Amino acid sequence: MQTKPKDSSEIVRNIWDIHTAKHLIFLVLIIWAAHYFTFRSFGLYEDDYTYISPALGWRLSDVLYNMIRVSLTGSQGRPLGYFLSLFLAFVGAKLGGLQAIYLLGFLIHVFNACLFYVVLRKVSSETVAVIGALSFGLFPADTTHIFLMHAFGLHTSLTFLLLAGLCYISGYRTLSYFVIVGSLLTYESPYLVFLAIPLLNRNWDSKLAREIIRHVAILSGIILMVVLIRFCAGESRILTVGASAFRLAIISAKIEAAMVIGPVVSMAAFAYGPAWVLCHWNRDLTIVFAGCIIPFLWIAGQLNSQTKITTILPFSKLVPTAAIMLCLAYGFSFTHFPPIALYGRLTSVHLAAAFGGSLLFACVCSMMLSAVHAYHWRIFVRTVLALYLSLLVTYRFSIQQDFKQAWQNERIFWTSAIGNLPDMTDGTVIFVSDQNLPATHFIRSNSWADPLVLMQIIQFPKEWKNQPRLFVVHDDWAKRLIREGNQVKWQVPAARVPSHWEILPNKNVILLEMENGKLVRKFGSIVVDGQPLELRQRSANGPFAHPVLRREEMREIFALPASS
């Protein structure tokens, strides 16, 4: 049932004032410094080669066709998430290329943090709202904020959750249910957090119990409807989940475990992040840390000096609500089990925990601030909070450095690789030993997406049936080959298609190894079961010995020359 919303003028008076303006401006600047200060040095990573880079060269006529095709055939039940990834990448590319795309990602993160501030401001004190919004924007458990695919395809799910939550607590409950469907169709994890939204109601009474029952029934009905549609469409993931009672029991056990393990790991990240950055300190981080201390001391002083603070929902209700939301965030984590990742792409498992985790962190900090009365203790707590938040920004900046370094590695890698491949032909398979390749911590310089990159950079002849692919393999890769008669087979890792076995083409395999910071091509043969597999011999008159036809936008992104 839709309740009568509060008068809009009352809401404005309660939330929007000069303090709110200062706090939101401060929040925007902090998110910029923490995540996007070096955005001009960011590039494409891992999943970006599937759901970001294809849209860079699209024309308007390509947009609708490709987005519908991907949404219907490769969405994993997340059609809106992949639609938004491709559409926003297309829009950003038209506005100004890769850098404009990153600015769109920044706007999404800022919008979400500001929404979170407004939601908390309507149910809690200004202190909780400010600290909560800051911790939401800097949430240390998820290290993929910069990752474009996640910014467009995952963090937009948080946008739907926050908008739905704002509608619900503002009295527009019917509308909130339509909005939250967007979260389920974008990236499902934040959807379950919405189950606990009624607990942000200021009155915990018998009416609340009935409201929660109705709320859970409606959300369960939405889930069942979506699952039924996905089942009728023959989606493989849904069919696999319901394949047997035993599998359902295993999934249920995983969910229960994830709802215990996940919250512990995500809250532990509030200590792990600052500890990690202290162990990997450098000059740039010193500058960032020093530059943050005074602004955070100022904002902490602003909060500490507020005399008229009205907490609509007391800590005795906010804390358990935050804890419940934190557990619900892992209700769909059985596909990424256990949720223990602390760095890298898989930390997206903690995405939905940003709501409950940030609220819980804000409650703890606010209780500490309100518990001290002596002037010297207020100064001490305020200073500790400022130093901690400065460390949190520094930690996020160190992730920026890693993304920057990873892109530098990628550009050097692909420029060097293409320079060694002037004689590629139909069906060529290129192996690159991972020994001595530079590695990064928070995002991979080389990943599962490597086989997709060559065909995105180079325009191969249309008559070629098997476009050349490049794979980064372990240095003992040859030991894993299998000889069957005169043929040699190897197991192709999963990329766009599942892992499978293929026959290696004799005299059409190229091997590259890193020596003295450069990729060097190897010639001759490799031994498989006592017999040689001939490597491709270099030809000066190969099809790519002369200027290569490349997608112009990719050539510019990789800073590749006009010829090999």
Is 145 inside any structural domain?
yes
Q: Are 60 and 561 in contact (CB under 8 A)?
A: no
What is d(CA 532, CA 560) in angstroms, rounded to the nearest whole number? Answer: 35
- Give 551's Cβ-side CA count (13 Å radius): 17
- 367, 277: one domain: yes
Per-residue confidence band for 256, with pLDDT thresholds at 50, 70 and 90: very high
98-123 and 353-371 helices, crossing angle to 10°: 50
pLDDT band of residue 547 (cuts 50, 70, 90) is: very low
Final residue of a structural domain among 371, 404, 437: 404
Task: Report the 3 state secondary structure along 87-109.
Answer: HHHHHHHHHHCHHHHHHHHHHHH
User: In DSSP terms, which residues pair with 550 in a beta bridge?
Assistant: 458
328, containing H or E segment = helix 315-328
Digit-coded pLDDT (tens) for 188-199? 999 999 999 999
Interatomic CA distance for residues 162 and 187, integer angstroms: 14
In this predicted structure, what is the pLDDT of residue 387? 96
Burial (CB count within 10 angstroms: exposed 0-12, middle 13-18, buried 19+), residue 42: buried
Q: Is residue 299 part of a domain?
A: yes
Q: Are residue 196 and residue 301 in the same domain, yes or no?
A: yes
Which of 204-218, 256-270, 370-384 is least confident? Answer: 370-384
The alpha carbon torsion through 318, 319, 320, 326 (nearest 10 deg) reads 100
Residues 14 and 126 occupy one common structural domain = yes
Cα–Cα distance between 474 and 312 in angstroms, integer?
58
The predicted model gives 154-176 an average pLDDT of: 95
Residue 100 scores a pLDDT above 60: yes
> pLDDT tens digits for 318-373?
999 999 999 999 998 877 778 899 999 999 999 999 999 999 999 999 999 888 87
The pLDDT tens digits of the residues spanning 403-450 come to 999 999 999 999 899 888 888 999 999 999 999 899 999 999 999 999
The residue among 299, 560, 248 whose CA lies nearest residue 421 is: 560
* CA dist 242 → 45, 59, 246, 424, 498 (Å): 33, 41, 9, 45, 21
Residue 284 has pLDDT above 70, yes or no: yes
Query: How confident is the prediction for the chain on average, in pLDDT?
Result: 87
Domain end position, chosen among 404, 428, 459: 404
Please check the confidence at residue 542 and state whether its pLDDT lies above 70.
Answer: no
Partners of residue 513 on adjacent β-strands: 520
Res 88 pLDDT > 90: yes
Is the confidence at residue 246, as pLDDT, over 80? no
pLDDT of residue 540: 61
Q: Is the pLDDT of residue 504 over 60?
A: yes
Reported confidence tier of residue 9, pLDDT bands at 50, 70, 90: very low
In a domain, 467, yes or no: yes
In the predicted structure, residue 464 carries a pLDDT above the cut 80: yes
Say if residue 343 is in the same domain as residue 473: no
In the chain, the percentage of residues whose pLDDT exceeds 90 is 59
Q: Taking a C-beta distance cutoff of 8 angstroms, is the pair 427, 505 a contact?
A: yes
- Compute how many other C-beta atoms are within 10 angstroms of the C-beta atom of residue 491: 12
Query: Are residues 189 and 47 part of one domain?
Result: yes
User: Do 390 and 322 lie in a common domain?
Assistant: yes
Q: Give yes or no: residues 485 and 515 share one domain.
A: yes
Residue 232: pLDDT band (50, 70, 90) is low
The pLDDT of residue 49 is: 92
65 and 189, same domain (yes or no): yes
| pTM over cut 0.85 | yes
Last residue of a domain, one of 340, 371, 404: 404
Residue 564 pLDDT level (bands cut at 50, 70, 90): very low
Phi/psi class of residue 76: alpha, beta or left (left: φ > 0; alpha: ψ in -120 to 50)?
left
Residues 370 and 395 in one domain: yes
Distances (CA, A) of 120 to 126, 209, 310, 320, 353: 8, 22, 12, 15, 16
Same domain, yes or no: 265 and 329: yes
Residue 275 has what pLDDT?
A: 96
User: Looking at the predicted structure, is the pLDDT value of residue 311 above 70?
Assistant: no
CB-based burial of residue 117 (10 Å sphere; 0-12 exposed, 13-18 middle, 19+ buried)? buried
Q: How many domains does the chain have?
A: 2
8 A C-beta contact, residue 532 and residue 525: yes
| Domain co-membership, 389 together with 459 | no
Position 239 in a domain: no
DSSP annotation string for 370-439 = HH--SHHHHHHHHHHHHHHHHHHHHHHHHHHHHHHHHHHHHHHHHHHHHHT-TT--TT-EEEEE-TT---
**Can you give the residue range of the structural domain that contains 398?**
10-205+256-404
